[in-house]
Amino acid sequence: MTTSPLVETVLRWYDENARDLPWRRPEASPWSVLVSEFMLQQTPVVRVLPVHEAWLTRWPTPADLAAEASGEAVRAWGRLGYPRRALRLHAAAVAITEQHGGEVPSSYDELLALPGVGDYTAAAIAAFAYGQRQVVLDTNVRRVLARAVTGTEFPPRSVTRAERALGAELLPSDPPTAATWSVAVMELGALVCTADRPRCADCPVAGLCAWRQAGSPAYDGPPRPVQTYAGTDRQCRGRLLAVLRDAPGPVAEERLDLAWDIDEQRERCLASLVADGLAAVDADGRYRLP
């Protein structure tokens, strides 16, 4: 067991404050964990919960999803946003079925080779589904470590070698404890050490926090990106995809014209949906999910 006061304190806090989430329960399958990791990318837990439940009910195994057309994955994705994740999740299910006998692989390298799986996701699945000792660095974890250990309000834009070294240094030697630490510090970042208006008065490690001890200095690094949505191509694509998702069959382009009134942007976004594999065009010129 680690002797780090930070790690021990966060573990105790998590033991009392962990949310009851289906992919964290002892009976959760590795597939449930994998699906949750795809869905939680840039999407709040509250929006993921009903879709995750419906997904696992319909497709309880990777093989069940792999047997369906990729368009059904896009349809079931609903309004979670960033629908290319649905295509990647479907492709991962196909790869798991064809290359791993339908079982989500346990090794980091095999997970990393799956479609749509990057460093964070591979480490998270290995840790959370299989109890392995992995350095898991998502946005929440990086923010907690930046504040508590390095004394800065926000971490760098992308993961650095120094962050990986710090993550490895703090990781408990016992694999199950290491896996719990990874989810515990992530939970602290999600619930208490949030990006905006952190709840420092409720933080179990406030007394150990280097950022607090320094007087909570404001972030002075490169400007943080501000996401906009209204009027963007992303919103336009979402409107068009919603028409295709809700339609019982292929739809004429005239029907899609009603979803967005800026012709040039609509045509560009429709073409991009086809190019991304999120939509298909029939021989008669009508559009549908793939």
CATH code of 278's domain: 1.10.10
Averaged pLDDT, 140-151: 97
Catalytic residue from among 8, 16, 37, 153: 37
User: Would you say residue 219 lies in a domain?
Assistant: no
The percentage of residues in the chain with a pLDDT greater than 90, rounded to a whole number, is: 87
> Are 10 and 126 in the same domain?
yes
Question: With bands split at pLDDT 50, 70 and 90, how would you rate the model's confidence at 231?
Answer: confident
Is 118 contained in some domain?
yes
Is residue 171, in this structure, part of any structural domain at all?
no
Last residue of a domain, one of 112, 130, 148: 130
Reported as a pLDDT band with limits 50, 70 and 90, residue 192 is very high
pLDDT tens string 90-133: 999 999 999 999 999 999 999 999 999 999 999 999 999 999 99
Rounded distance between C-alpha atoms, residue 75 and residue 127, angstroms: 30
Average pLDDT on 157-167 reads: 95
Helix residue ranges per DSSP H, the chain: 5-17, 30-40, 45-58, 62-66, 70-77, 84-99, 108-112, 119-130, 139-145, 161-170, 175-191, 210-213, 233-246, 253-257, 263-275
**pLDDT band for position 1 (cuts 50, 70, 90):** very low
Distance CA 222, CA 14 (A): 32
- Final residue belonging to a domain, choices 130, 164, 182: 130
pLDDT in tens, 13-61: 999 999 999 999 999 999 999 999 999 998 999 999 999 999 999 999 9
pLDDT at 3: 65
Q: What is the CATH number of the domain that holds 116?
A: 1.10.340.30
User: Does residue 154 lie in a domain region?
Assistant: no
In a domain, 183, yes or no: no
Quote the pLDDT of residue 228: 78
Last residue of a domain, one of 115, 130, 145: 130
Average pLDDT over residues 271-290: 93
Residue 175, helix vs strand vs coil = helix
Asked if residue 75 is part of any domain, the answer here is yes
Please state, in angstroms and rounded to a whole number, the distance separating the CA atoms of residues 132 and 260.
Answer: 47
Least confident of 48-57, 222-231, 267-276: 222-231
Domain limits for position 249: 233-288
d(CA 153, CA 37) in angstroms, rounded, equals 25
Residue 179 belongs to some domain of the structure: no
Residue listed under structure tokens 């589904």:
129
Q: Judge whether 288 and 251 are in contact, CB under 8 Å.
A: yes
In a domain, 146, yes or no: no
Q: How many structural domains are present in the chain? A: 2
Q: Work out the pLDDT band at 222, boundaries 50, 70, 90.
A: confident
pLDDT at 240 over 60: yes
**What is the rounded CA–CA span in Å between residue 266 and residue 264?**
5
| pLDDT for res 221 | 76
* Catalytic (active site) residue 37: yes
Residues 11 and 126 in one domain: yes
